[in-house]
Amino acid sequence: MQSDEPVKEAAKKSDKLNIAEKMAAKQQEISVTEFFEKNKQILGFDSRSKSLLMGIKEAVDNALDACEDANILPEIIIKMNRVDEEDFIVYIEDNGPGILHKMLPNVFGRLLYGSRFHALRQSRGQQGIGISATIMYGNITTGKPAHIQSKIEGEDEVAWKMDIMIDTKTNRPIVTNDKAFTWEGKEHGTSIEYTTKGRYITGKQSIFEYLRDTAIVNPHALIEFHDPDGKKYLFERATEQMPPRSKEIKPHPEGMEIGDLMKYSQNTQQKTMKTFLKNDFSRITDRIADDILEKAVINPEMKPGKLSREDMKAILGAIQKVKIMAPPTDCLSPIGDTLIKKGLMHILDGLRPDYYATPVTRSPKAVNGNPFVVEAGIVYGGEIPADSPVSILRIANRVPLLYQQGACAITKAVADIDWRRYGLEQRGGKGIPYGPAIILVHVASTKVPFTSEGKEAVAAFPELQAEIGHALRLCARNLKSHLNKMERKTKTHAKFEIVQDLLPDMANKAAEMLKRPVPDLSRTISKIMNVVWIEPAVIKSKKGSRTITYTIYNYTTTERTFKLHAQLPKECVNLTLFTNPYFLDMNDEGKANWEIKAIPQSKMIQISFELKGDLADTFDADDIYISGINPVAVMGAEAIPGDWGIKGLEIVESNEEDFVEEDPEEKAEEEAEEEELKFEKEGDDDE
């Protein structure tokens, strides 16, 4: 009888082939829209309340970008109407430059379609996902299309409107009701109205909180919000000063990966390695290109496309050994110290803070070849709760980040600082500090390294986290300096009041009893006080200007000569307002200098000036500095910071007991900061 084993084996092989064929038949290309439709949480649409916020966030971000690109002061209107418990109609309108009629379907109806993904410059939108993902989410949750309107500038231009849905199979828009119309009272702008499922909340991680924080870091914008309950919130424009427009730049070589170098070398139009390095990257000069190629042992005439993997590794290693200037700043649009303070003051004024620590804007650095700048600010005191963790305002490219705080590099950098040294409570010297403070950190970059497409947290790259830490420490030192000055001033003020009240009373009674003239106590008071007292006063006018007056008392036993320095908002300064004989000069950065010559003992003088404009209130009269005199002998001013670049300061001898012992770690940090600033300045001079 013949065995049936060969037949069984053949059947098994046939079954395997059939399975493989069946599996192959099921394989097909996945549309990017289909992928995100099934993975909405990647884009941030992972809960009803968050989805409602994300849609508004994406539309507002696009509106701000469009207005700034066209140099238009933004005016944004957000209206929400509740259809039922879960369905909302959301309407967002801006006064931007508008969108061409033929581009409307692609802008709103295709994912991964945009103009900013390949551009190396700072912008809020970068991926081409946000607003089209919002429309997709509305489509799949309610089945209703989004209604778009847009008008570009020009008297003869008509406005266009259309309804858009997204075909998730093909990632293409489905357009209906495409019509021209007259948009009464609208010169230019765009609006979007869509129906979506969501849950409206107030308080933390709410739409109101997002719009409030957006107004803080975009003080040039006017934002009007109508909530579903019929309440209207208006975030007025704090300044008409537009942020500097960012320019597109070439990639910076610092932090570049081998895959990046491979891509650039394969796509370059340059014929030699030297011209490739010099012309396709920023901050690479002839000398630096020669230095890199020499260290990498690469022929300068070699064609970039011929690079091997080992050659690329050698070039990346050589780049690490060569000093290359920081990336140019014109590709970024940082908020700036003055406008950070203005935005915080304008929105948080209801909390009546005691102090706005002078904000810090760091010099640009690079991570993975992408330039970035870190800015930080601190608000302290007033009605800010003192018994809870400090609030952290996390901002990336002027956009507030409300979710995934624990996964963010900004939060990690805040937690790594020992805030006890700066006047805040912190258990164990680690973690989020407690105290009456709000900390703001802004990361501006040509490509912010987010942890996901939802753009909710900044990835913790070591270079980035270290820069955030530097900015926070500098800002915290400003806060600590202010708190120390206020404490010392309070104690000295109490002593001064006792001396001023008690001694004259004693002298009057003694003179009355002895029937003698009342003695002159000015020298005695000076000996007891032994301090130069600087008392600021501010007079506000109805037109918004500020008159700042400093009264300087010499309560010491010798005449005194020294200089005063102040960092003024340069936009508010007119040199004709500085007619005081003690005024010396002011540089382009707004750093003003006065020289007080030979003020006699027990005498006083005054200096004053006026600031005009909507940024006048950002100057804190307590932020005054001195040089040419022992700072311990002065009340009301601090020693001038070392990074002001003022040469020839008088070295004043003093006893060791006059000074408070410095923290060695903090002193090392300050020296490192000054050395870094010095190197950056030398690099700028070389350039």
State whether residue 482 is helix, strand or coil: helix
Residue 232 has pLDDT above 50, yes or no: yes
Q: What is the mean pLDDT of residues 410-426?
A: 91
In DSSP terms, which residues pair with 172 in a beta bridge?
167
Contact 562, 627 (CB under 8 A): yes
Structural domain contains residue 458: no
Residue 410 has pLDDT above 70, yes or no: yes
Contact 78, 223 (CB under 8 A): yes
More confident residue, 377 or 47: 377
The whole-angstrom distance between residue 525's C-alpha and the CA centroid of its chain comes to 48
* Same domain, residue pair 208 and 94: yes
Q: How many helices (H) and strands (E) does the chain have?
A: 15, 23
* Same domain, residue pair 632 and 588: yes
Structural domain contains residue 436: no
Which residue is listed with tokens 């090392």? 668
pLDDT digit string, tens, across residues 336-370: 888 888 898 888 888 888 888 888 888 888 776 67
Residue 128: which pLDDT band, with cuts at 50, 70 and 90?
Answer: very low
Q: What is the mean pLDDT of residues 296-311?
A: 89
Contact 123, 444 (CB under 8 A): no
* Same domain, residue pair 265 and 231: no
Strand order in the sheet with 172-181: 172-181, 159-167, 146-151, 189-197, 87-94, 75-82, 222-226, 232-235
* Same domain, residue pair 626 and 541: yes
Residue 76 has pLDDT above 90, yes or no: yes
Q: What is the mean pLDDT of residues 587-614?
A: 87
Residue 497: which pLDDT band, with cuts at 50, 70 and 90?
Answer: confident
- Alpha carbon separation from 195 to 35, 55, 87 (Å, rounded): 22, 10, 7
Q: What is the mean pLDDT of residues 655-665?
A: 41
Reading the block at residue 600, the tokens are 């006699």
The phi, psi pair for 105, rounded to 5°, reads -60, -40
Measure the CA–CA gap between 44 and 41, rounded to whole angstroms: 5
Residue 277 has pLDDT above 80, yes or no: yes
* Same domain, residue pair 194 and 297: no
Does an H or E element contain 534, and which? strand 531-540
What's the predicted TM-score (pTM) here? 0.76
Which range (257-266, 544-553, 664-673) has the least confidence?
664-673
Q: Going by C-beta distance under 8 Å and a sequence separation of 6 or more, which residues neighbour residue 434?
A: 386, 387, 388, 389, 390, 424, 425, 426
User: What does the pLDDT read at residue 670?
Assistant: 54
Boundary residue ending a domain (200, 235, 270): 235
Q: Give CA angle at 262 (258, 264), nearest 5°.
A: 115
Residue 119 has pLDDT above 70, yes or no: no
* Same domain, residue pair 186 and 302: no
Which range (160-169, 298-307, 570-579, 599-608) has the least confidence?
570-579
Query: DSSP code of 112?
Result: T
User: What does the pLDDT read at residue 361?
Assistant: 87
State whether residue 172 is helix, strand or coil: strand
Measure the CA–CA gap between 259 and 303, rounded to whole angstroms: 18
Which range (67-71, 514-518, 523-527, 544-548) has the least confidence?
523-527
pLDDT digit string, tens, across residues 4-44: 666 666 666 666 556 766 666 665 555 555 555 555 555 65
User: What does the pLDDT read at residue 685?
Assistant: 46
Contact 424, 475 (CB under 8 A): no
Structural domain contains residue 272: yes
State whether residue 382 is helix, strand or coil: coil
User: What does the pLDDT read at residue 204?
Assistant: 85
Measure the CA–CA gap between 75 and 555, rounded to whole angstroms: 54
Q: Going by C-beta distance under 8 Å and a sequence separation of 6 or more, which residues neighbour residue 143?
A: none
* Same domain, residue pair 205 and 302: no
Which range (72-81, 184-193, 350-359) has the least confidence?
350-359
CATH code, 311 = 1.10.8.50
CA count, 13 A, side-chain hemisphere, 163: 8
Q: 199, 134, 126: which is closest to 399 by C-alpha?
A: 126
In DSSP terms, which residues pair with 582 in a beta bridge?
none
* Same domain, residue pair 92 and 165: yes
Residue 662: which pLDDT band, with cuts at 50, 70 and 90?
Answer: very low
Boundary residue ending a domain (271, 288, 321): 321
If phi > 0 it is left, if psi is from -120 to 50 it is alpha, else beta; for residue 446 that is alpha
Share of the chain above pLDDT 90, in %: 23
In DSSP terms, which residues pair with 94 in a beta bridge?
190
* Same domain, residue pair 205 and 291: no
More confident residue, 331 or 415: 415
Q: What is the mean pLDDT of residues 281-303?
A: 89
Q: Which of 10-19, 313-322, 489-498, 499-508 has the highest mean pLDDT?
A: 313-322
Q: For the CA atoms of the chain, what is the radius of gyration?
A: 32
Which residue is listed with tokens 């030297």? 274
Structural domain contains residue 373: no
Share of the chain above pLDDT 70, in %: 82
Measure the CA–CA gap between 287 and 687, rounded to whole angstroms: 12
Structural domain contains residue 130: yes
User: What does the pLDDT read at residue 134?
Assistant: 83
* Same domain, residue pair 296 and 177: no
CATH code, 206 = 3.30.565.10
State whether residue 151 is helix, strand or coil: strand
CATH code, 650 = 2.60.40.1170
User: What does the pLDDT read at residue 655?
Assistant: 37
Measure the CA–CA gap between 377 and 391, rounded to whole angstroms: 12
Reading the block at residue 443, the tokens are 């990361």
Measure the CA–CA gap between 591 and 577, rounded to whole angstroms: 15
User: What does the pLDDT read at residue 672?
Assistant: 54
Residue 654: which pLDDT band, with cuts at 50, 70 and 90?
Answer: very low
The whole-angstrom distance between residue 492's C-alpha and the CA centroid of its chain comes to 37
User: What does the pLDDT read at residue 115?
Assistant: 45
CA count, 13 A, side-chain hemisphere, 520: 4
Domain that residue 540 falls in:
520-654
The total of structural domains in the chain comes to: 3
Measure the CA–CA gap between 77 and 591, rounded to whole angstroms: 39
Chain mean pLDDT for the chain:
81
Reading the block at residue 525, the tokens are 């008071």
Structural domain contains residue 629: yes
User: What does the pLDDT read at residue 496?
Assistant: 73
* Same domain, residue pair 221 and 299: no
Reading the block at residue 301, the tokens are 């005439």
- Alpha carbon separation from 338 to 272, 352, 620 (Å, rounded): 45, 19, 11
User: What does the pLDDT read at residue 681?
Assistant: 45
Which range (91-105, 279-293, 328-342) has the least confidence?
328-342
Contact 31, 168 (CB under 8 A): yes
Structural domain contains residue 71: yes
Reading the block at residue 479, the tokens are 């806060």
State whether residue 459 is helix, strand or coil: coil
Query: DSSP code of 168?
Result: T
Measure the CA–CA gap between 204 and 400, rounded to whole angstroms: 13
pLDDT digit string, tens, across residues 446-486: 888 888 766 788 998 888 999 999 999 999 988 888 888 88
Q: Strand 232-235 to strand 222-226: parallel, antiparallel, or no bridges (unpaired)? A: antiparallel
Residue 274 has pLDDT above 70, yes or no: yes
* Same domain, residue pair 223 and 301: no
Boundary residue ending a domain (303, 321, 339): 321
Residue 189: which pLDDT band, with cuts at 50, 70 and 90?
Answer: very high
User: What does the pLDDT read at residue 234?
Assistant: 94
User: What does the pLDDT read at residue 679?
Assistant: 45
Structural domain contains residue 25: no
